[in-house]
Structure 1
Amino acid sequence: MLSTVSYGALYYAQPLLAVATEQAFGWSRTHTGLAFTLALVVTAVLAPGVGRTLDRHGGRVLLTAGAVLGAAAFMVLAVSSGYVMFVAGWLLAGLAMSLTFYEAVFAVLAHQLSGPARRRASLTITLVAGLASTVFVPLTTVLLQSFGRQATLLGLSALLLIIGALVWKVLPDSFRASSVSSPFVPDWRLPWLTMAFTLARIVTVGVGLQLVPLLLGSGYLPLEAAGLAALMGLAALPGRMLFMPLMARWSALPLTGALIAQLSFATFLFHLAEFKLVAVLAAALFGMASGALTLARTEVLLSFYGPQVFGSVNGRMARSVNGAQALTPLGVGLLFTVTAAYTASLNLMVALGMAAVLLLASAGPMNSLGRPASGDFPRHR
């Protein structure tokens, strides 16, 4: 529930809240978009520190604090009357995101559970959180139309407070700290893995942002384009469900490489978007691979590094991945401005996906158990 409500309120509701804010204050999309981008940058910058703290102290206090900070952010946004206070509210929301999104939640799961139990819990969380946009976009729309911007923000704030109280009650109040008393020191593999997942995130965000305008430019009706975008989002759910049985037959690293290759292939198929059946196939393949990659990153990192330092490792990776997510909209927008077409952008996304596959391969082979083939693990000192 924490991830679902956090993604729904802090992320998916943002475009609707932005429009309401622009209408209330006469601001442009640049004003609201910049504030949200800064929030995502905050999330990326704080990720390593959050991960290290989770490894040392567990998640009860931090995850609860994340929900409370999200509630406080919406309170600030509700009473803000100037742009500086508005930006401050979203910066606070960025801190909340770093404590409540998948990176933090998966670190807690890695500490609390292991093996099939952890995988089942991860799958359940991602399946439910995958419905965040389905629930919160219409919910936020109804609240804005019925009660206005301030009341909607306060309502979302109250919901986050309730979730925070539930997290505090459900998570155990004791935590066995990691036996590793000194900081995690990255091994040679981590930069390769980080770059691979960063490029994969650029592909998922870049294609997702451009899909509807690309389809409209190819002659699709608005309803058809929206339907294919929805299909791509819904396909993430079966992609995640299929990932778990595949993990029983295939180790994490090659499976992840196959998923990123599928992203690239689906992106290439969007070059043929004028053929509607091809576009449907591309949207389904892309969505399934994108959804499964949410789980794949956790499995790869646990395979190489184990649960004791998972928060630290994932936090280091999240800085790059989340930073790319924050800056990709600007990058693809500039590319379209220069080229006035989507061909160059699609080609770039295909190339980045294939580069990510090669980077994963450079991280080294793994044995049948999913461990590094050499049996070595990064040293902590």
Structure 2
Amino acid sequence: MTDRPRGGLPALCAAQIVSWGLLYYSLPVAVAPISEETGWSHTVITAALSAGLIVSALAGIRVGRLLDRQSPRAVMTTGSLVGVGAMLLVAWSPNLVMFFVAWVVAGFAQSAVLYPPAFAVITRWYGPRRVGPLTTVTLVGGLASTVFAPLVASLIDQLGWRMSYVVVAGILAVTTVPLHALFLNSRWTDASAARAEENPTATIRAVTRSRQFITLQITMATATFTLFAVTINIIPMFLERGMSYGTAAWALGLIGAGQVVGRLGYPQFARVTSARARTVVIFAAGAAGLWALALLPGPVWLLIVVAVLAGAVRGCHTLLQATAVSDRWGTQNFGTINGVFTAPMTFVGAFAPVAGPAVAGLLNGYPMMAVVMAVLLTGAAVVTSRT
């Protein structure tokens, strides 16, 4: 595509790993030290991140519109600058209210720099050849926690959490801001802009209000919620199965490896299946994995294998989400339509980590929680197969 600047994809990949690592994964790493110093509970601190993710879901709709009409350089550079300010605000927060405000501000930054806007830019750059570059950016982004969780932990050990967030802001300022400012389009070409303008609001609404779009939105959000709620809580689930803490922690790490495998295999899978068929297959495979995690008592090796397979499904689901709109409705006005499409997924993703333990508490155990999630995902697979 003529809109693609030299070095754009490597720059986006680098910006993604830093943005995810610092605007998302830094807080889970810092929860315990923040709680120890301030007296705020772990749940309340984590809720600040969830609040930011909700804001990100809502703001992402507007960001998608801006990406269709304005340059990605302006939108994503601004998002990076907002992220720098948010991290400085986290460091300064004198009380819990301001801490929440800081993460709400971070939510605006997330909406402009994480996967959905990057997917919109890559889809516009590469058009029909988008799956390979989308796979690349998600593979690199998937390393964010591996790279930055130990780094943030080390910073906190040496500097304390407040000064560490000042350093986090500095890292964002010297990496993501120039990457977005120097390697993204300053404007879309006239031809691209003209094509976007030829699609009036009524045309976009015809897509976003269609039965197919809304059904797919609901089923994709269901898959996001169920897969995340179970896999992110795999340690307490496996502890209930009698696994040691160390082994359960390894299982969680291997789920991340499974996501990488799933993403590596997705391009070939996409080449030999239709959009609906691969959606049904991924949902069905995810449901089967959740049923197995819910019902299998052991042995340990088998539970770990199933967990890795569930991770592979999650990896495929990320790319399924990235391509669902363009596969069905094309790439014109992709930013606007995809912003609307992904908002519910971002929203439920904010609640999934705490929803798992909450449901497990109501049903007296994580295996029963997994049963509920398996039922929901099975239903999503059935609905998708019939629409």
Asked if these proteins are the same fold (TM beyond 0.5), I'd say yes
Kept after mapping to 2: 8 A contact 1:200/1:353: yes
Cα distance in 2, alignment partners of residues 128 and 35 from structure 1? 26
Cα distance in 1, alignment partners of residues 215 and 276 from structure 2? 12
Cα distance in 2, alignment partners of residues 58 and 294 from structure 1? 25
Cα drift, residue 222 of structure 1: 0.9
CA change 1:57–1:273 in 2 (3 A) is farther
Cα drift, residue 147 of structure 1: 1.7
1:255 and 2:278 aligned? yes
Find the counterpart in structure 2 of residue 149 from structure 1: 161
Cα distance in 2, alignment partners of residues 279 and 180 from structure 1? 52
Cα drift, residue 328 of structure 1: 2.5
* Aligned counterpart in structure 2 of residue 31 of structure 1, from 22, 28, 44: 44
Find the counterpart in structure 2 of residue 284 from structure 1: 308
Secondary structure class of the residue paired with 1:40: helix
Find the counterpart in structure 1 of residue 342 from structure 2: 318
Q: Give the percent of matched residue pairs that are identical in Structure 1 and Structure 2.
A: 26
Match for 1:344: what amino acid? Answer: M
Instruction: Give CA deviations for 1:174-220 in whole Å, capped at 9, x if unaligned.
Output: 21321335221122211111011100001121112321001111111
Select the structure that is richer in helix.
2
Cα distance in 1, alignment partners of residues 377 and 360 from structure 2? 19
Kept after mapping to 1: 8 A contact 2:233/2:357: no
* Aligned counterpart in structure 1 of residue 200 of structure 2, from 179, 182, 195: 182
Structure 1 runs, 4 residues or longer, greater than 4 Å off = none
Structure 1 unaligned residues grouped into runs of 5+: 364-381
Cα distance in 1, alignment partners of residues 297 and 49 from structure 2? 31
Find the counterpart in structure 1 of residue 133 from structure 2: 121
Stretch moving more, 192-201 or 268-277: 268-277
Map 1:1-381 → 2, pairs under 5 A: 1-116=14-129, 118-162=130-174, 163-175=176-188, 176-177=192-193, 178-183=196-201, 184-185=204-205, 186=208, 187-270=210-293, 271-363=295-387
Secondary structure class of the residue paired with 1:113: helix
Match for 1:180: what amino acid? Answer: E
Cα drift, residue 225 of structure 1: 0.2
Q: TM-score of the superposition, structure 2-length normalised?
A: 0.90
Kept after mapping to 2: 8 A contact 1:219/1:274: no
Stretch moving more, 173-182 or 95-104: 173-182
Instruction: Give CA deviations for 1:214-256 in whole Å, capped at 9, x if unaligned.
Output: 1111111111001111111111111111110121211222112
CA change 1:313–1:358 in 2 (3 A) is farther
Instruction: Give CA deviations for 1:99-134 in whole Å, capped at 9, x if unaligned.
Output: 111111101111122222x22211111111111111
Secondary structure class of the residue paired with 2:243: coil
Aligned length: 362
Instruction: Give CA deviations for 1:69-101 in whole Å, capped at 9, x if unaligned.
Output: 111101011111112211111001111111111
Instruction: Give CA deviations for 1:269-327 in whole Å, capped at 9, x if unaligned.
Output: 11214212321221121011110111112222111111112112211122211111112
Kept after mapping to 1: 8 A contact 2:357/2:366: no
Match for 1:46: what amino acid? Answer: A
Cα distance in 1, alignment partners of residues 30 and 290 from structure 2? 30
Instruction: Give CA deviations for 1:30-88 in whole Å, capped at 9, x if unaligned.
Output: 32122112111111121211112211213111111111111110101111111221111
Stretch moving more, 28-37 or 85-94: 28-37
Kept after mapping to 1: 8 A contact 2:72/2:187: no
Find the counterpart in structure 2 of residue 366 from structure 1: none
Cα distance in 2, alignment partners of residues 206 and 174 from structure 1? 40
Cα drift, residue 330 of structure 1: 3.7
CA RMSD of aligned residues (A): 1.5
Q: TM-score of the superposition, structure 1-length normalised?
A: 0.91
